[in-house]
Structure 1
Amino acid sequence: MRRNTFLKSMAAMAMVGTLPLSARAGATIKMMIPANPGGGWDGTGRAFGAALIDAKVADAVQYDNKGGAAGAIGLAQFVNSAKGDPNAMMMTGAVMVGGIITGKPAVSMDKATPIARLTSEYNVFVVPADSPLKTMKDVVAQMQKDPGSVKWGGGSRGSTEHICASMLATKVGVDPKKVNYVAFRGGGEATAAILGGNVTVGGSGYSEFAEYIKAGKMRAIGVTSEKRLPGINVPTMKEMGYEVVLGNWRGVYGAPDITAAQRAALTEMVIKATKSKVWLDALEKNAWTPALMTGKAFDDFVDNEFSSLRGVMHLSGML
Structure 2
Amino acid sequence: MMMKFSKVLLILGLVASLVACSSTTSTDNYPNKTIEVVAAGSPGGGLDTIARVVDEALKKADLQDQPFTIKNLGGGGGNEARAYIEKQDDNPYSLLTESNRVFVNEIVGTTDLGIEEVTPIARMMTEYLVWVVKEDSAYTDAKQILDDLKEDPSAVQFGVGTIPSNDQMNILRPAMEYGVDPTKIPVVAFKSGGDLMTQLLGGHIQVISTGLSEAIQHVEAGNARILAISSPEQLNGELADIPTWKSMGIDVSILHWRGIFGPPNMPEEAVKYWDEKLGELVKTDTWKELLEKHGWFDAYADSATFKEELEEEKEIMANLLESIGLAE
3-state SS in 2 of match to 1:47: helix
| Equivalent residues of 2:232, 2:254 under 8 A apart | no
The Cα of 1:142 is off from its aligned counterpart by 6.1
Matching of residue 87 in structure 1 with residue 93 in structure 2? yes
Question: What code does the residue aligned with 1:274 have?
Answer: V
Which residue is equivalent to 2:264? Answer: 256
Question: What code does the residue aligned with 1:30 have?
Answer: V
Question: What code does the residue aligned with 1:116 have?
Answer: A
3-state SS in 2 of match to 1:152: strand
| Equivalent residues of 1:156, 1:184 under 8 A apart | no
The Cα of 1:221 is off from its aligned counterpart by 1.4
Matching of residue 152 in structure 1 with residue 155 in structure 2? no
| Equivalent residues of 1:167, 1:244 under 8 A apart | no
3-state SS in 2 of match to 1:247: coil
The Cα of 1:303 is off from its aligned counterpart by 2.9
The Cα of 1:317 is off from its aligned counterpart by 8.2
The Cα of 1:251 is off from its aligned counterpart by 2.0
Q: Give 2:193's match in structure 1, choosing from 190, 193, 212.
A: 190
The Cα of 1:67 is off from its aligned counterpart by 6.0
| Cα distance between partner residues in 2 of 1:317 and 1:99 | 14
| Equivalent residues of 2:48, 2:72 under 8 A apart | no
| Cα distance between partner residues in 2 of 1:210 and 1:34 | 24
Q: Size of the alignment, in residue pairs?
A: 298
Which residue is equivalent to 1:64? Answer: 72
Question: What code does the residue aligned with 1:167 have?
Answer: R
| Cα distance between partner residues in 1 of 2:45 and 2:148 | 30
The Cα of 1:254 is off from its aligned counterpart by 0.8
The equivalences for 1:1-319 within 5 A come to: 18=26, 22-24=30-32, 27-34=34-41, 37-39=44-46, 41-54=47-60, 55-66=63-74, 69=77, 71-72=78-79, 74-80=81-87, 82-94=88-100, 96-103=102-109, 105-129=111-135, 133=139, 135-137=141-143, 139-140=145-146, 143=149, 145=152, 147=154, 150-157=157-164, 159-171=165-177, 174-183=180-189, 189-197=192-200, 199-231=205-237, 232=239, 233-240=241-248, 243-248=250-255, 249-285=257-293, 286-294=295-303, 296-311=304-319
Deviates more, 1:125-134 or 1:220-229: 125-134
3-state SS in 1 of match to 2:302: strand
| Equivalent residues of 2:126, 2:299 under 8 A apart | yes
The Cα of 1:141 is off from its aligned counterpart by 6.1
| Equivalent residues of 1:89, 1:253 under 8 A apart | yes
| Equivalent residues of 1:117, 1:252 under 8 A apart | yes
| Cα distance between partner residues in 1 of 2:233 and 2:85 | 37
The Cα of 1:245 is off from its aligned counterpart by 1.4
Which residue is equivalent to 2:15? Answer: none
The Cα of 1:34 is off from its aligned counterpart by 4.4
Structure 1 residues 86 and 238, CA gap change in structure 2 (3 angstroms): closer
Percentage of matched positions with identical amino acids: 23
The Cα of 1:201 is off from its aligned counterpart by 3.0
Cα shift readout 1:123-148 (whole Å, capped 9, x = no counterpart): 22223556565543554466555727
3-state SS in 2 of match to 1:125: strand
CA RMSD of aligned residues (A): 3.9
Q: Which structure has the larger Rg?
A: 2
Unaligned runs of 5+ in 1: 1-12
The Cα of 1:222 is off from its aligned counterpart by 0.7
